[in-house]
Structure 1
Amino acid sequence: MISCLVVDDEPNAVKLMEDHISKIPFLQLKQKCFDAFEVMEYLRKETVDLIFMDIEMPEMSGMELATVLPKNQPIIYTTAYSAYALEGYEFNGLDYLLKPITFKRFAQAATKVQDYFALLKQPVDFNTHDVLADCMFVKSGKQVVKINYESILYFEANKEYVNIVAAEGHSLVYKRMKQLEMQLPVNFMRIHNSYIVNINFMQKIIDNHVLIGDTKLPVSAGYRDKLLSFIDKKMM
């Protein structure tokens, strides 16, 4: 069972979310809040697996509230404005529901959440590097796929997913880049908020780009010094 909290300053919106949640067998509504301060007060004493959070609220917006919540608190944002979508994914957003929220769209988000929590409960812990240190297992769709580290060219962030680009093809997995980066062997290097590369496949550095095969990947200013320091140590 996935416990939920709903926060929205509009009572009708809260009622709609309550109705939607009641129709999903694996969701359990634990609390309804009507502003950010009610949420903070509740979470001082309790925890929930998931928050359905309105973005446009008086005094403190959903985005602002997200910055004071635990870093790994899963959130699904709700709003009447699609312009917030990309920003929402930067604040623990598992999904983004555009009002008026149909049950069909809500059910899709619920399924995504169920997959997310199922993935977290997978028995193999890749933070322990003494287990299967030469490969990783990822859930892609309904499959669990084994990928050898030596075949991975690079990782590319795609909203709340990561695209693993390997010699044998692509795999799209539900994972955050920061979590992934901590699990990888030392031959993988972050060069951009959206890219982690396998330095074994790095062929050239051209201006602010890394060349891997025929693909040019950008190097952002925040990661450039680390990359150049690595190159200097290998310079002949």
Structure 2
Amino acid sequence: MEHSAARRILVVDDEITIAESVGARLRAEGFEVELAHDGPAAVAAADARRPDLVVLDVMLPGFDGLEVCRRIQAARSVPVLMLTARTEETDQLVGLGVGADDYLTKPFSMRILTARVHALLRRTERSADQDGAATLLVGDLRIDLDERRVWRAGIETQLTPLEFDLLARLARRPRAVLARERLLEEVWDWADAAGSRAVDSHIKALRRKLGADLIRTVHGVGYALEAR
């Protein structure tokens, strides 16, 4: 078991049986767990308890998980693993677009869920401990690795935790083409069929926030950060 006793996870699902089952499994893994069963309660719990990670169902009463994710990320950057009963790709990518880091489609195995949780937390810890220069400069892009802040042409832009990590990884080797699989391994710390779509979705988010010209697509291979 990983040393995760100090880590707090908020589990949000309106199906109480599922929420309690997930909570029990995560407690067995050594996590401290909070439960919420609707949108307003989830936002309030995230604000009060400041979790290290949120497991968040899309379909919730009050307001849905996408709105919960928006509000949580607007207040404080935190990794989010979304749960969805929907299988359409567009629904999954919408979840990633509002700041979720990863998703699982119901029904899922507890083994896979706990593996994803550990992977997201490892990525967060690794990002906090990155060695090297405190600031990356690529053209008119400036990335402060210590404060996790980003500016382009002097204008600061707010990024989610995973958007920041993805941008920083590309910026460490500007102009170099990095394959989706490599980005998935090095940024997400997880490899499966869903991951490549997650990479694409977060690249779209970075382009939307920082400019369509910043990241070049090399079809069939991956992406490169362009120095301007």
User: TM above 0.5, one fold?
Assistant: yes
Cα deviation code 1:37-76 (max 9, x no counterpart): 1122223333111111110112311001111123422111
Aligned to 2:212: 191
Correspondences of 1:30-45 after superposition (within 5 Å): 31-45=34-48
Please state how far the C-alpha of 1:108 moved relative to its aligned partner.
Answer: 2.3
Question: Where is the strand percentage greater, Structure 1 or Structure 2?
Answer: 1
Which of 50, 55, 58 is the equivalent residue of 1:47?
50
Shift of the 93–64 alpha-carbon distance from structure 1 to 2, 3 Å rule, reads same
CA contact (8 A) 2:56 2:83 kept: yes
Say what the alpha-carbon RMSD is for the aligned residues: 4.0
Cα deviation code 1:104-145 (max 9, x no counterpart): 211321232132122222242644249xxxxx9xxxxxxxx9
Kindly indicate whether residue 121 of structure 2 is the aligned counterpart of residue 114 of structure 1: yes
Question: Where is the helix percentage greater, Structure 1 or Structure 2?
Answer: 2
Correspondences of 1:22-101 after superposition (within 5 Å): 22-25=27-30, 27-29=31-33, 31-71=34-74, 72-83=77-88, 84-101=91-108
Please state how far the C-alpha of 1:180 moved relative to its aligned partner.
Answer: 8.7
Shift of the 123–41 alpha-carbon distance from structure 1 to 2, 3 Å rule, reads same
**Quick check: 84-93 or 49-58, which moved more?**
84-93
Alpha-carbon separation, structure 2, partners of 1:4 and 1:39? 12
Which of 177, 187, 204 is the equivalent residue of 1:174?
187
Alpha-carbon separation, structure 1, partners of 2:42 and 2:20? 17
Aligned to 1:220: none
Alpha-carbon separation, structure 2, partners of 1:11 and 1:80? 15
Q: Give secondary structure in 1 for the equivalent of 2:186.
A: strand
| Number of corresponding residues | 169
Q: Give secondary structure in 2 for the equivalent of 1:109.
A: helix
Greater RCO structure (CA 8 Å; 6+ sep): 2
CA contact (8 A) 2:16 2:37 kept: yes
Shift of the 37–125 alpha-carbon distance from structure 1 to 2, 3 Å rule, reads farther
Identity of aligned residues (%): 16
Which of 5, 11, 19 is the equivalent residue of 2:24?
19
CA contact (8 A) 1:155 1:196 kept: no
Q: Which amino acid aligns with 1:5?
A: L
Q: TM-score, normalised by structure 2?
A: 0.59
CA contact (8 A) 2:10 2:46 kept: no
Aligned to 1:186: none
CA contact (8 A) 1:154 1:196 kept: no
Q: Give secondary structure in 2 for the equivalent of 1:97.
A: strand
Alpha-carbon separation, structure 2, partners of 1:216 and 1:19? 39
CA contact (8 A) 1:6 1:52 kept: yes
Aligned to 1:203: none
Structure 1: give runs of 5+ residues left out of the alignment: 131-135, 137-144, 164-170, 182-188, 198-209, 218-226, 231-236
